[in-house]
Chain A
Amino acid sequence: MSTAVFKPSKSQLADQSDGASNYLNAGFSAKSWLLTVDHKRIAILYLISITLFFFLGGLFAVLIRLELLTPQGDLMQAETYNKMFTMHGIVMIFFFLIPSIPAVLGNFLIPLMIGAKDLAFPRINLLSWYIYSVGGLFTFAAIVFGGVDTGWTFYTPYSSTYSNSNVILVAVGVFITGFSSILTGLNFIVTIHKMRAPGMTWFRLPLFVWAHYATSIIQVLGTPVVTAAIMLIGLERLFGFGIFDPKLGGDPLLFQHLFWFYSHPAVYIMILPGMGVISEVITCFAKKKVFGYSFIAFSSIAIAVLGFLVWGHHMFTSGQSVYTSLVFSILTFLVAVPSAIKVFNWTATLYKGAVSYDAPMLYALGFIGLFTIGGLTGIFLGTLAVDVHVHDTYFVVAHFHYIMVGGAIMAYMAGLHFWWPKITGRLYPEGWARFSALVIFIGFHLTFFPQFIVGYLGMPRRYHVYPEEFQILNVLSTAGATILGVGYLIPLIYFTWSLKSGPKASANPWGAKGLEWEKASSPPSQYNFEKTPVVTEEAYDYEPTIWLK
């Protein structure tokens, strides 16, 4: 292979004829989309749905930041504000972040990456999109009927007894959507075990697949527990069951345990697939074999396992015993180890690579920086004494937004740009993409970095009014959110534009390694490959760089 591969030029265009049959032109009727069992089309259905929910959740964020522009409550009352942050959290977490990378990119890519024709259970895959949509409709109905004000955490006894908002509707929505997540995870596990092409051994799998395998374990083991907890809240509200009702001797803390048993690992459902994306993007744009393949692979599994043992760090101030808190604190520190292994290995992969800075790479580099800040502040919060000080302040809000927006969404954007030519067969405009990556990076920092400071100074989360001395930092944050919002709108526009007007993409515009690039066309044919590929080399087997030669 020549050195030309280091700079994949955008002139490597359209090497396939217009008439080539692919999954996009395999049928044009609504039925051919709504009843499809093709994993690629289902991924597109998910892409459309989660994009709608992303901008719906974003709308709530806009309203929150507008209210916080001034110290007084001028735009909305406390109750309305409670609904705003609740709906923002519920929509973003359950209907955007959790399905985002797995259900769109994972769905599209896992069969392609392992050399399969489809996921193991195509009909269940379609079913999971319908389940997601029904759950989404319930939640959307709840918003239309006036929203819900419990916080996305549904803490009892407020959610089970006192709240007068549409808790039941939203609970049903989240309950239903949980099954969609379980079925997706189950489908991935079986697919990765049983559908790999000849020669695709476990240690030749792309790290993206390992990350999704770890994610799927969490989805299958964790989701049913929160489902049970939400079911109990429903029974309590509808019939007056008393499991979480302190008046009867019930314990609200039990709800928190059951809730966080899922919802902490759920953070890893959001971030692990993102880490998988980053491993792919970094190796491709460094044109170098990934540093420490098996360490990255096993650190995904380690994060999934450890993630199940740390839920109590959400409850340090809730009255659980000091010794319990101590153990959860130590275990929380342990999660930093596999996370750091990933960050170090990505950085080491860059070392002496032939690095180029296309949009996916800009997002990936942004991810590494933002995830590191989010992760390190997680260590602060896992420390008992510090947590007592900053608990329920904007410090916490900033921390998890660095992980979920700075981490998960940056990775999602990296992946979306990276595989856009594969998914749609079109190239997006690179200049605009780099520009918007920069806008998002700047907007993100301006939004959330001031929140670390204002939180550390003592501004509590979930209030619509605040003391005047915090105004400057809040104005900065709102300004940043505006920039961030623009940063998300630009890709929406140019991605939509590129569908019709973007230049046609070749099968492998990045010169990347992997079956989806090397053996499938852009966009892939209906059954992915002409014939089942046979794998003969390890993942990321890029030519050694010039320097090493």
Chain B
Amino acid sequence: MAHEHAALQHHFDDMDQQLEASTLGMWAFLITEVLFFGGLFAGYLIYRTKFPEAFDLGSHELDIKFGAINTAVLIGSSLTMVLAVYFAQLGQRMKIVFFLFATLVLGGTFLGIKAVEYSHKIHDGLLPGPGFTFDSPIADQVRIFFSFYFAMTGLHAFHMIIGAGLLSWLMYNAWQGKYDSSYNTPVELVGLYWHFVDIVWIFLFPLLYLIGRN
């Protein structure tokens, strides 16, 4: 065998085996994530069917501008992420760092907008709990809508924060020149994770913001 790659771990025979194992591992992890969010989506669907009026009312309280801008920001971040993976495969160090940074900035923008949105909702008394105020005979059910809103977007935002940490770690390593055409698995795998988190939002946006508005 030719001389071994520096990134090859001791328990793998070659780089191909290592790449295949890592990739399968990430996909299996994403399946776990699908089920994690799936429990919440299932709950949402059940209550949406049970209380359609309340969910429409709740949906009208959400600011579609924020939601739409954030959707665009996230899709943009997927593009920059893909470009980071692309340049990692080509081994162009500065471009990897640049596009990872761009992804990080867009992710940060998303979280910033989300924070503003949350503070508006909390200010309006829409955070479920004893302080929840909503002027409607079905306010209790609207509160359930907001329970789902905060639980699902909160879990999603938590995944974004983890993603931001991963991007920072990748940027550091890319800066050090660790990724090139022969080894770029971490960039590719974080890319998979990042796209998954984007896709979750692609489902959350219509379910929470759009469905109630005909």
Counting CB contacts under 8 A, is B211 at the interface? no
Which listed segment binds A: B36-44, B57-65, B177-185, B191-199? B36-44
Tell me which residues across on chain B come within 8 A of A292, comparing CB atoms.
Answer: none
Interface residues on A, range: 35 or more
Binding site of A, secondary structure by majority: helix, strand, loop or mixed?
helix
Partner among A116, A182, A221 whose Cβ is within 8 Å of the Cβ of B11: A116
A502–B176 CA distance with the chains assembled, in angstroms: 52
Contact of A224 among B36, B50, B129 (CB under 8 A): B36
Contact A189/B147 with A224-B35, A225-B36 known, Cβ cut-off 8 Å: no
Please measure, in the bound complex, the distance between the C-alpha atom of A117 and the C-alpha atom of B37, giving whole angstroms: 35
In the complex the two chains form, is B20's CB within 8 Å of A194's CB? yes
Is B141 part of the contact surface with A, judged by Cβ < 8 Å? yes
**B127 touching A228, Cβ below 8 Å:** no
Q: Count of B residues near A, CB < 8 Å?
A: 40
Contacts of A190 in B (CB 8 A): 21, 24-25, 28
B151 at the interface (CB under 8 A from A): yes
B11 and A186: CB pair below 8 A? no
B39 touches A239 (CB 8 A): no
Q: Quick one: given A239-B128, A241-B151, A243-B151, are A248 and B21 in contact (CB under 8 Å)?
A: no
> Which listed segment binds B: A66-74, A118-126, A283-291?
A118-126
A313 to chain B, nearest CB (A): 19
Alpha-carbon distance between A235 and B149 when the two chains are bound, in angstroms:
12
Query: Of B38, B140, B151, which contacts A248 at CB under 8 A?
Result: B140
Q: How many Å lie between the Cα of A182 and that of B206 in the bound state? A: 30
Contact in complex: B140, A117 (CB < 8 Å): no
Give CA–CA (A385, B13) in the complex, Å.
57
Q: Is A143 an interface residue (CB 8 A)?
A: no
B151 touches A235 (CB 8 A): yes
Q: Which residues of A contact B42 (CB under 8 A)?
A: 258
In the complex, whether A134 has a CB less than 8 A from a CB of chain B is no
Chain B, residue nearest A220 (CB): B32
Smallest Cβ-Cβ distance to A258: which chain B residue = B39
B31 — which chain A residues lie within 8 A by C-beta? Answer: 220-221
Does B29 reach chain A (CB closer than 8 Å)? Answer: yes
Question: Could you say which of A189, A221, A243 contacts B35, with CB atoms under 8 Å apart?
Answer: A221
Question: In the complex the two chains form, what is the Cα distance from A510 to B189 in whole Å?
Answer: 44
Q: Which of A118, A121, A225 contacts B39 (CB 8 A)?
A: A225
Choose from B37, B43, B127, B128 the contact partner of A258 (Cβ within 8 Å): B43
Task: Please give, as numbers and ranges, the residues of chain A lying within 8 Å of B32 by CB-CB distance.
Answer: 182, 186, 220-221, 223-224
Cβ–Cβ contact B129 & A241, under 8 A: yes
Return the contact of A186 from the options B28, B36, B141, B144 (Cβ within 8 A).
B28
Given the complex of chains A and B, what is the CA–CA distance between A133 and B43 in angstroms? Answer: 31
- Once the chains bind, are A242 and B128 in contact (CB under 8 Å)? yes
Known: A241-B147, A250-B144. A121 touches B35 (CB 8 A): no
B150 part of interface (Cβ distance < 8 Å): yes
Query: Who on chain B is nearest to A122 by CB?
Result: B11
How close is B5's CB to chain A, nearest CB, in angstroms? 17
Which residues of the other chain, B, contact A130 by a CB distance below 8 angstroms? none
Minimum-distance CB pairs A-B, first 4:
A240-B129, A224-B36, A228-B39, A248-B140
15 residue pairs A–B, Cβ–Cβ below 8 Å: A124-B25, A186-B25, A186-B29, A190-B21, A195-B21, A220-B32, A235-B151, A239-B127, A240-B129, A241-B129, A241-B147, A242-B143, A249-B141, A251-B46, A251-B50
Measured CB to CB, the residues of B under 8 A from A are 9-11, 13, 17, 20-21, 24-25, 28-29, 31-33, 35-40, 42-43, 46-47, 50-51, 127-130, 132, 140-141, 143-144, 147-148, 150-151, 155
Query: Other than the known A224-B35, A241-B150, A241-B151, what 19 A-B pairs have Cβ atoms closer than 8 Å?
Result: A116-B11, A120-B11, A186-B32, A193-B24, A195-B17, A220-B32, A224-B32, A224-B33, A224-B39, A231-B151, A231-B155, A232-B151, A239-B127, A239-B128, A239-B129, A240-B132, A243-B43, A243-B144, A250-B144
